[in-house]
A and B are shown apart, each in its own frame.
Chain A
């Protein structure tokens, strides 16, 4: 029942964390857009953009969605999900790109 007995102090501590995360997210948004205007070569741009997006996503998942204070099982389920997600993302890699977009005779 600990879940329902959060003290007001704990909650206000949470609130301070939320505001810090909010600040971090705004800074990271500015960084993403700023880096775009530098017009890096494509590989660099993709790497930077995805790393920043992943950090932002992790912040949202860990703090706003409280994933950081959850317990075992859900991590396993999400890990399974992440694994199949990666399998899905392998689709483009394993596809023969000569065959995409054109009719082969």
Chain B
């Protein structure tokens, strides 16, 4: 709302506030919007889990401080109810996967960094980009609004298995509607990312000169593009089951609480839901992890001052990983009785898909060898990412083998396994990325002491949360149980539950330095120039923060992405846009 005549000068037009920061078409503003929104959702999902952890550590005792504010349906007399527990569990999973991690990795980092790294002025379709965000946000709000529906939020788990989900309370309908919004947003986003990465690369930036981050985003976008529609189809079918009384997932002769469901036409297949759901949800795992691997690669290259070891192996592995992720989905369904032949096939593909993951991890670890590492805050997160991701990946192997899966299926071992991939894995990568690109976004550094505090305690407590779960799972304690101490083997492992819960609450305390650091650094952080990390990729060629349109002059690329410590050069880094 400047006093100047905004129509007079077309080159220096001041956009009104709402066009500049709210309905902006600038990929950087949209990236920041995604990041902030997703961090809020991340916090909310974490809060739900912290409440659930009280019930698991101290079953049947009133929740201190907040129990009395949760309302009678969720917590009568301050004690978390079974239905409340189920709703919190389902929403924790949904929020973390669809509203927090994917929007952070793709919507946030992808949006902000990808156009900069390829030397583009913006995304290929800026207005579509804005639409993606403004479809994502209502999707998230619909999800959260479901807590206020009669019967509360969706409570059939984040996987929404039928027929349970079809007969569930109204919250499930909201969940489905929310999913349709989120899927649409992701689809628009992925189209935008692919077109941008293919068509808007700067002159000289051939495919094999792309930073690995861009490759990771490109593969991720293809996964979103081709794997999400089947879930959208499944959501539409379940919506029809719930709203129009159809029986896509409801078998003939279904009996609910002793009453035969005679009003149903029947003939549906509960397994169909599982197939369609996991057809998305397995590629989704790689949607969660690939952007994280991209972020970590950038940070490792910058802080080891060496080219990444095996860049081409990384790229081909990422592509192969993306491809294979479409034919492993049924390893989530070994226990459905789908037959041994089929199980054997999916067991084999699952073992195959672990190979490219191991190649990527190996390349990143070998990159450290012989380096004089700069132990910056992002590098600390990146270095702890590597073993955490390794634990997450390797604990997955016993789940992919049908014989051992019989024992481990649906136990806390599964929870421990995939949380090692996404929590100290992807979320650590997200923190690493925030510390790494914060100076680009704001022009200021984040405080290193607070950052180290944040890293150290997060690293300790996050292992305190997930390591005991692996042991609990091997002891046979099932996931999604409201009160595991009711069973003998559960009661004997109750001490571990208390440890997990306290670690989780302390993990929250460990985030306080980050929150303080984040806001303090926006206004008070040390001012830096365009390239504070002395990195090579194109985003560091733009001013910090980059203006609308990104680059002062259109960059031309002369070399590969990780030209560090090239012998015979004055500096230990050769930026991509500088003539060698």
Cβ-defined contact, B279 with A88, below 8 A: yes
A101 contacts which of B269, B327, B339 (Cβ < 8 Å)?
B269
> Are A96 and B337 also in contact (CB < 8 A) when A84-B226, A84-B326, A101-B269 are?
yes
Q: Which residues of B contact A73 (CB under 8 A)?
A: 198
> Are A103 and B253 also in contact (CB < 8 A) when A84-B326, A94-B342, A96-B338 are?
yes
Would you give 7 A-B contacts (Cβ < 8 Å), ordered by A? Answer: A84-B226, A88-B279, A95-B275, A96-B337, A99-B337, A102-B253, A104-B337
What separation, in Å, do the CA atoms of A91 and B326 have in the docked complex?
13
Chain A nearest CB: distance from B251 CB in Å?
5
B252 within 8 A of A: yes
Chain A nearest CB: distance from B414 CB in Å?
23
B266 within 8 A of A: yes
A87 within 8 A of B: yes
Chain B nearest CB: distance from A99 CB in Å?
6
Q: Which residues of A contact B230 (CB under 8 A)?
A: 88
| Residues of A bordering B, CB below 8 Å | 73, 80-81, 84, 87-88, 91, 94-96, 99-104
What separation, in Å, do the CA atoms of A95 and B275 have in the docked complex?
9
Chain A nearest CB: distance from B328 CB in Å?
11
B251 contacts which of A80, A81, A94, A103 (Cβ < 8 Å)?
A103
What separation, in Å, do the CA atoms of A73 and B194 have in the docked complex?
12
What separation, in Å, do the CA atoms of A92 and B230 have in the docked complex?
14
What separation, in Å, do the CA atoms of A3 and B180 have in the docked complex?
37
What separation, in Å, do the CA atoms of A41 and B327 have in the docked complex?
34
Majority SS at the chain A contact face:
helix
B271 within 8 A of A: yes
What separation, in Å, do the CA atoms of A87 and B253 have in the docked complex?
30
- The interface bits of chain B over 252-281 (1 if a CB of A lies within 8 angstroms of the residue's CB, else 0) are 111100000000001111011001000100
B266 contacts which of A96, A101, A104 (Cβ < 8 Å)?
A101
What separation, in Å, do the CA atoms of A96 and B343 have in the docked complex?
12
Cβ-defined contact, B271 with A103, below 8 A: no
> Are A100 and B253 also in contact (CB < 8 A) when A87-B327, A88-B279, A95-B338 are?
no
What separation, in Å, do the CA atoms of A80 and B226 have in the docked complex?
9
Across the two chains, which residue of chain A brings its CB closest to B346?
A94
Cβ-defined contact, A87 with B337, below 8 A: no
What separation, in Å, do the CA atoms of A98 and B434 have in the docked complex?
52
Cβ-defined contact, B226 with A101, below 8 A: no
- The interface bits of chain B over 288-329 (1 if a CB of A lies within 8 angstroms of the residue's CB, else 0) are 000000000000000000000000000000000000001100
Q: Which residues of A contact B337 (CB under 8 A)?
A: 96, 99, 104
Cβ-defined contact, A81 with B226, below 8 A: yes
Q: Which residues of A contact B252 (CB under 8 A)?
A: 101-103
What separation, in Å, do the CA atoms of A101 and B265 have in the docked complex?
10
What separation, in Å, do the CA atoms of A88 and B232 have in the docked complex?
14
Chain B nearest CB: distance from A37 CB in Å?
28
Cβ-defined contact, B269 with A100, below 8 A: yes
Given A88-B279, A94-B342, A100-B269, output 10 extra A-B contacts at Cβ < 8 Å.
Answer: A80-B222, A81-B226, A84-B226, A87-B327, A94-B338, A95-B271, A95-B272, A96-B338, A100-B272, A101-B267
Across the two chains, which residue of chain A brings its CB closest to B337?
A99
What separation, in Å, do the CA atoms of A101 and B454 have in the docked complex?
53
What separation, in Å, do the CA atoms of A91 and B233 have in the docked complex?
14
